[in-house]
């Protein structure tokens, strides 16, 4: 994936058909999942 500016809070990832990815939510989920390892 190409780099995106940190000011971009939401984006679409068309190769996988994922739409409206929320950067803050995604980060929170990653932290939660890592904490449970």
Predicted local distance difference test score (pLDDT) of residue 7: 92
Report yes or no on 21 lying in a domain.
yes
Report yes or no on 16 lying in a domain.
yes
Exposed, middle or buried by CB within 10 Å (0-12, 13-18, 19+), for 11?
middle
Q: Each residue of 1-37: pLDDT tens digit?
A: 578 888 999 989 888 888 999 999 999 999 999 998 8
Predicted local distance difference test score (pLDDT) of residue 28: 95
Report yes or no on 5 lying in a domain.
no
Predicted local distance difference test score (pLDDT) of residue 30: 94
Could you tell me the residue range of the domain that residue 23 belongs to?
10-36
Report yes or no on 15 lying in a domain.
yes
Report yes or no on 2 lying in a domain.
no
Residue 30 CB contacts under 8 Å (≥ 6 apart), including other chains: none
Structural domains in the chain (count): 1
Predicted local distance difference test score (pLDDT) of residue 37: 80
């Amino acid at each position: 994936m190409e780099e995106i500016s940190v000011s971009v809070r939401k984006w679409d990832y068309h190769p996988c058909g994922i739409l409206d990815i929320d950067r803050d939510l995604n980060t929170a989920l990653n932290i939660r999942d890592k904490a449970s390892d």
